[in-house]
Amino acid sequence: MQQSPVIVVNTSKQRESGHKAQMSNIAAGKTVADVVRTCLGPRAMLKMLLDPMGGITLTNDGFAILRECEVAHPAAKSMIELSRTQDDEVGDGTTSVIILAGEMLAISAPFLERKIHPVIILRGFQKALEDAQVILRSIAKRVDTNDREQMLSLIKSAIGTKFVSRWNDLMCNLALTAVQTVVRRSDDSEFISADISASNKASGSAAADADLANKPATSGDATADAAASVAAGASAVSAPTATGAAVTSIEASASSAPDVDVREVDIKRFVRIEKVPGGEIEESRVLDGVMINKDVVHPKMRRHIENPRIILLDCPLEYKKGESQTNIEISREGDWSRVLEIEEEQVKAMCDKITALKPDLVITEKGVSDLAQHYLVKHNITALRRMRKTDNNRIARATGAKIVTSVDELKEQDVGTGCGLFSIEKIGDEYFTFLTKCKEPKACTILLRGPGKDTLNEIDRNLQDAMCVARNVLFNPYLCPGGGATEMALSVQLAQRAKSDIPGVEQWPYAGVAEALEVIPRTLIQNGGGNAMRVLTELRAKHANGLTTWGVDGEKGVPADMNEYGVWEPLAVKLQTIKTAIDSASLLLRVDDIVSGTSKKQ
Amino acid sequence: MSGIFSTNNQDSALFIGGSRVSGQEVRAQNVMAALSIANVIKTSLGPVGLDKMLVDDVGDVTISNDGATILQLLEVEHPAGKILVKLAQQQDTEVGDGTTSVVIIAAELLRRANELIKNHIHPATVITGYRLACKEACKFIADQMALKVDKLGRDPLVSVAMTTISSKILGTYGTFFADMAVDSLSAVKTTDFRGKARYPVNAVNILKAKGASARESSYFTGYALYRPFTSPAMKRSLKNPKILVIDFDITKTRMKMGVNIVIDNPDELEAIRKREMDISSERARMILDAGVTAVFSTRGIDDVYVKMFAEAGAITVTRVPKEDARRIAKGTGASLITTLANLDGDESIDVSSLGSAELVEQVRLSDDDIVVIRGAKEQRASTVILRGANDYMLDEMERSFHDSLCAVKRVLESGAVVPGGGSVETALDVYLESFATTLGSREQLAIVEFANALLAIPKQLSVNAAKDSIELIAKLRAYHSAAQKATANSSHSALKNYGLDLYEGKLRDNVKAGVLEPAMSKIKMLKSATEAAINILRIDDMIKLLPEKQEEDPHAHM
């Protein structure tokens, strides 16, 4: 029979199958991890990235680096997505998660060589993940979120690795103050997570995980709640060892009351970082209010008002044509001037409605016409125009004013009086509006000063991380020792369990997870210039004796007790890191065929 | 080799540009195409099958274990191959599971048919034989293999869900997702007009949120909508809302394009402007007067009117995707209103078009606000929130979860399961072989081949698990043969439930082990695989027209 080629699939597809595909995924994962490897720890180095437009990014934030990298390999893309997830979820640990995920893949390679089936490897990984979470919770310690000192040192350890470590204290203060400013107990909403955990329990499925994650959060909220704080404190004192039980009781009492006060910390919406190049970094501060890069619309308006009455508008203060297309045919002589009069009358009517409330300051998201400015100046009212919606929301929260969409609806209670001082200052070459000395600033601006734009951008990124840390701890006030101590503890304990508790082939991948976790302390030592083999062995010995707080002094590359060294990290971050790393490795290891649509280039 | 195509051009009796392949050659080509399609996906079969990673032209990555998804993304070009792709997709839409198996069986049927035809058996005979075998097989499954689960306890349902997802990414998390699939589907039970229970899979709403880990996925009852309330000034939750679902804007009215209004008096201009505002505020007022407290709009609502609603204590959600709006309307008993105008030319709201629920609230999911409607009047809905490391994982999780929902639905609605792990296929093989011997005609051969083709499934399962397929299948056939010869009360009859245990490389009673599949999906699978194979077998000539040459662009620089 005559054979002829049969073209079945699109020939422009490239295909890699079986072992080759697995190895190519692993190689890609390792490569991505290697890019950010030197960015971990206090002796981390920065990376300089040049984007296609010629812009420069100078950073050691894992996510920021990888975001700029253009990768072609699908597995590498998947890895980069991880750090995005980590950034969205907890905002910190973006570098660790990549390194750990890369290492998870790397340790799987020998297993695949030995023909252990990926499905078996994954089972071992899953078991290790479950056990790791239990171990993590057992070595975590509770922190008092009202203790400023403790919080500061915590944030310090989180951003210690970053560029701003020179101004550590300052930055930590900024981050903590900002976050504590925007903490809010929401009025009537319930968090979905609490609800879910309830339904999960009802269904009897294994919701222990989600539950545990919620409990600390709920208890944290309860502590914040003035009424419940006594009860929480009492139970914590009476049963310090059985925190779990105490927490459960708090949760029970909380769920009995339908409207629980739940904290909300929305950094994205209510903390704004304004970067103003120039000046000293030491001049950076958190304002007890809001700052906007705007000047008054009319030079005669007041630039300094104490205790201003503020009106926020989302409508233009100028003549607005109708939506429909209208043509006017003027036949009489006076009509034309009448038309113009109408326009003026309208603006006047608008301004009259505003002046009736005797505000000192009017801020609108839209425009203010010259005529309107004239009327406002006459009444000694200062006006700002073209405010961004997000800025306006922040001002509303800081000053207690309500944003009004039409002047017709202005009411006395819409006027904000929460602000203590309105002033306009000139920084560098630009004018900035300050709304400060707010009585209850539930939104704030962090004013960053510094020598250059790139420096400021990097500080901005680090500050974001620091605020995320503060937020995570407020939600979930448990800490794990940093400096690789947590990973070391996990590694040693998992390795022990692997030998005793895990039967069959799954023991290998299970022990592999233990081995992979050592990558964090190892990288820390290497970046700190220490002898990785020696220090790791010392650490292993310490952890085998139950000293779970020993980690690496990242600056010297020698072992250190974290109790003395003072590096602690939020439990939430650690949990998320290991979960993400293992989940993603699971995803990539299951692949045995890569079909890519990129056309073959010759 | 490729010269064949061009020479055929001149030989062609058809005086057209194109190529023609006929007779045995086209059959060989088709079979080859089918086999290579099956080859791509056969390693993803079974609990130890692996996933495929697919990258499209723009570099988007898809990681999947689902046969239909993989084939769809492969961009198959060969016409016979396309038939198989369609087959997998059809299985996906009809049954939702077994997409890989159906392709493997169809390809195997084709391969064996081709051998028969090479031995000078007419395709028509093969086709009749296949048809007969398929009919017998379906009857056998329904009569002998299917286990009625009338008193539907939870366990068989969870087992079915578990069997489906065991081959997928969710499989590593144990019964966590199987439980969730059963729970979320049970929550949306409805009864149709005949009084039969229905479990609409699309009433289970799947939301994906990055972050946390797969185990923190959760489900709750209620319909969730990935949109926030329009204004932060609104209440966060509302009990017993009266729901209005609209498909028009509440914005300032404007005349249609090209309509001019000519006025004489300048003051009228102002009146027009005012009227533009008023028309919509009258509408908003009318909506509020009708007692509506929750407005879901597929379009926008201007800030001015949003404020009216917020002040009246009502909530609004704008830019709701139309699909969601329809489902909300259906679930709450509301009707999707496109205009307020009534037959008299006035505007009004019919109170009967409003829907109701127990609670509408806005909750926070990961970094986003979502709206949840709980306790809708007409149709319960449940929402599953999947969490995972990144988008690729979430997409695959959604596909897997959807498959398990489909499987559970089939069992709940048809009420019969069969043991999985290759047990049905082996039993059929044994049964059909003995059935073939009762026939004295040429079809006998085709039936025997059909029987052997089914063994492709257990064979592939054990190959994927790196087990000795020859030994295992020989043993399995012996078991089933003993079971079928046994009298009703003999101890051997229990052997009919035996199938493969792929982790241990042994045989076991898969009913006891909880490896179950919906009987209906097996029957559907056999039927459609046979139909597809027959479709391709009937072809004995392929004419492919050359694509029309595009006029060369003189400006193109080559």
pLDDT of residue A13: 67
pLDDT of residue A247: 36
**pLDDT for B367 beyond 80:** no
Residues of A in contact with B273 (CB under 8 A): 320-322
Contact across the interface for B52 and A579, Cβ inside 8 Å: no
* Residue in B77, B270, B303 closest to A7 by CB: B77
**pLDDT for B465 beyond 70:** yes
Helices B443-454 and B99-118, interaxial angle, to 10°?
140
**pLDDT for A243 beyond 60:** no
Give the C-alpha separation, B99 to B412, whole Å.
Answer: 20
pLDDT of residue A160: 62
**pLDDT for B293 beyond 50:** yes
Distances in Å between the Cα of A593 and the Cα atoms of B36, B70, B105, B502 are: 14, 10, 21, 21
> Which tens digits make up the pLDDT trace of B300-316?
888 878 888 888 888 99
Contact across the interface for A85 and B53, Cβ inside 8 Å: no
Ranges A109-118, B245-254, B336-345: which has the least confidence: B336-345
Q: How far separated are the first and last CA of chain A, in Å rounded?
A: 34
What totals of helices (H) and strands (E) does chain A contain, helices first? 22, 23
Identify the H or E element spanning A260: none
Considering chain A, what is the average pLDDT of its residues?
Answer: 77
pLDDT of residue A337: 84
Phi, psi of B157 (to 5 degrees): -65, -45
Give the C-alpha separation, B450 to B345, whole Å.
Answer: 68
Burial of B319 (0-12, 13-18, 19+ CB in 10 A): exposed
pLDDT of residue B335: 86
Q: Which amino acid belongs to residue B557?
A: H
Structure tokens that stand for A69 in this block: 């990298």
Print burial letters for B334-370: b (CB count within 10 Å at least 16), e (below 16). bebbeebeeeeeeeebeeebbbbbeebbbbbbbeebb
Contact across the interface for A8 and B183, Cβ inside 8 Å: no
Q: Chain B closest CA to A575's CA: distance in Å? A: 9
Q: Which residue of A has its CA nearest to B262?
A: A327
Residues of A in contact with B71 (CB under 8 A): none
**Is some CB atom of chain B closer than 8 A to the CB atom of A576?**
yes
pLDDT of residue A245: 36
Phi, psi of A469 (to 5 degrees): -60, -50
CB B147 within 8 A of CB B511: yes
Give the C-alpha separation, A65 to A84, whole Å.
Answer: 11
The CB-based long-range contact list for B297-300 (8 Å cut-off, 24+ gap) reads: B297/B245, B297/B246, B297/B247, B297/B248, B297/B249, B297/B250, B297/B325, B298/B246, B298/B247, B298/B322, B298/B325, B299/B246, B299/B247, B299/B248, B299/B249, B300/B249, B300/B250, B300/B251
**pLDDT for A358 beyond 50:** yes
Percent of chain A with pLDDT over 90: 7
Q: Chain B closest CA to A255's CA: distance in Å? A: 16
* Calculated CA dihedral for residues B516, B520, B525, B530, nearest 10 degrees: 130
pLDDT of residue B152: 59
**pLDDT for A202 beyond 70:** no
pLDDT of residue A207: 36
pLDDT of residue B548: 66
The DSSP symbol for A328 reads E
pLDDT of residue A510: 92
Helices B519-537 and B99-118, interaxial angle, to 10°?
40
A601 pLDDT band (50/70/90 cuts)?
very low
pLDDT of residue B393: 86
Percent of chain A with pLDDT over 70: 81
Residues of B in contact with A207 (CB under 8 A): 218
Select the more confidently predicted residue: A538 or B172.
A538
**pLDDT for B127 beyond 90:** yes
Q: Which residues contact A583 (CB under 8 A, 6 or more apart)?
A: B213, B214, B388, B389, B393
**pLDDT for B259 beyond 80:** no
Give the C-alpha separation, A179 to A468, whole Å.
Answer: 9
Give the C-alpha separation, B160 to B165, whole Å.
Answer: 9
pLDDT of residue B312: 86
Residues of B in contact with A468 (CB under 8 A): none
For chain A, what percentages of helix, strand and coil (3-state, to nearest 5) are there?
55, 15, 30
B403 tagged catalytic: yes
pLDDT of residue B551: 65
Helices B423-436 and B456-464, interaxial angle, to 10°?
150
B100 tagged catalytic: yes
If you average pLDDT over residues B452-468, what whole number do you get? 89
Ranges A359-363, A588-592, B489-493: which has the least confidence: B489-493
**pLDDT for B530 beyond 90:** yes
* Residue in A4, A75, A196 closest to B1 by CB: A4
Q: Which residues contact A319 (CB under 8 A, 6 or more apart)?
A: A343, A344, A346, A347, A369
Give the C-alpha separation, B430 to B497, whole Å.
Answer: 14
Select the more confidently predicted residue: B511 or B550.
B511
Q: Chain B closest CA to A61's CA: distance in Å? A: 19
pLDDT of residue B138: 93
B175 tagged catalytic: no
**Is some CB atom of chain B closer than 8 A to the CB atom of A13?**
yes
User: Which residue out of B53, B103, B306 would a mutagenesis test of the A interface target, given it has the greatest number of A Cβ atoms within 10 Å?
Assistant: B53
Select the more confidently predicted residue: B103 or B391.
B103
If you average pLDDT over residues A71-87, what whole number do you get? 83
* Residue in A8, A18, A81 closest to B37 by CB: A8
A115 pLDDT band (50/70/90 cuts)?
confident
Contact across the interface for A590 and B63, Cβ inside 8 Å: yes
Structure tokens that stand for A282 in this block: 């030491």
**pLDDT for B325 beyond 80:** yes
Q: Which residues of A are catalytic?
A: 61, 94-95, 465
Q: Which residues contact B453 (CB under 8 A, 6 or more apart)?
A: B105, B108, B109, B111, B112
Contact across the interface for B55 and A595, Cβ inside 8 Å: yes
Ranges A215-224, A540-549, B41-50, B315-324: which has the least confidence: A215-224
Contact across the interface for B363 and A82, Cβ inside 8 Å: no
Give the C-alpha separation, A512 to A498, whole Å.
Answer: 9
If you average pLDDT over residues B520-525, what whole number do you get? 89
Catalogue the E-assigned strands of B332-381: 336-337, 355-356, 359-365, 368-374
Q: Which residue of B has its CA nearest to A121?
A: B172
Q: Which of B62, B92, B97, B99 is catalytic?
A: B99
If you average pLDDT over residues B43-67, what whole number do you get? 83
Q: Which of B62, B66, B163, B530 is catalytic?
A: B66
Most confident of A42-46, A164-168, A263-267, A347-351: A347-351
> Which tens digits make up the pLDDT trace of A401-429?
888 888 887 888 888 888 888 998 888 78
CB B206 within 8 A of CB B396: no
* Residue in A1, A81, A324 closest to B390 by CB: A81
A 124-153 residues with CB < 8 A to B: 125-126, 129
* CA nearest neighbour of B347 among B250, B471, B412, B258: B250
Q: Which amino acid belongs to residue B187?
A: A
**pLDDT for A477 beyond 90:** no
pLDDT of residue B534: 92
A73 pLDDT band (50/70/90 cuts)?
confident
Give the C-alpha separation, A193 to A476, whole Å.
Answer: 13
Give the C-alpha separation, A212 to A379, whole Å.
Answer: 59
Q: Which residue of A has its CA nearest to B232?
A: A393
pLDDT of residue B556: 59
Q: What's the longest Cα–Cα distance across chain B? A: 103
Say which residue the tokens 């925190």 belong to: A243
**pLDDT for A120 beyond 50:** yes
DSSP per-residue letters across A129-148: HHHHHHHHHHH-EE--TT-H
Catalogue the E-assigned strands of A179-309: 184-186, 262-264, 271-277, 285-286, 290-292, 304-306
Considering chain B, what is the average pLDDT of its residues?
Answer: 83
CB B455 within 8 A of CB B429: yes
Percent of chain B with pLDDT over 70: 93
A 192-211 residues with CB < 8 A to B: 192, 195-197, 199-200, 203-207, 209-210
CB B127 within 8 A of CB B395: no
Residues of B in contact with A188 (CB under 8 A): 235-237
**pLDDT for B3 beyond 80:** no
Contact across the interface for A325 and B260, Cβ inside 8 Å: yes
Alpha-carbon B318 to chain mean position: 29
> Which tens digits make up the pLDDT trace of B403-445?
888 888 888 888 888 888 889 999 999 999 999 989 888 889 9
Q: Chain B closest CA to A395's CA: distance in Å? A: 14
Give the C-alpha separation, A302 to A383, whole Å.
Answer: 9
Select the more confidently predicted residue: A202 or A114.
A114
pLDDT of residue A479: 84
Q: Which pTM does this prediction carry? A: 0.76
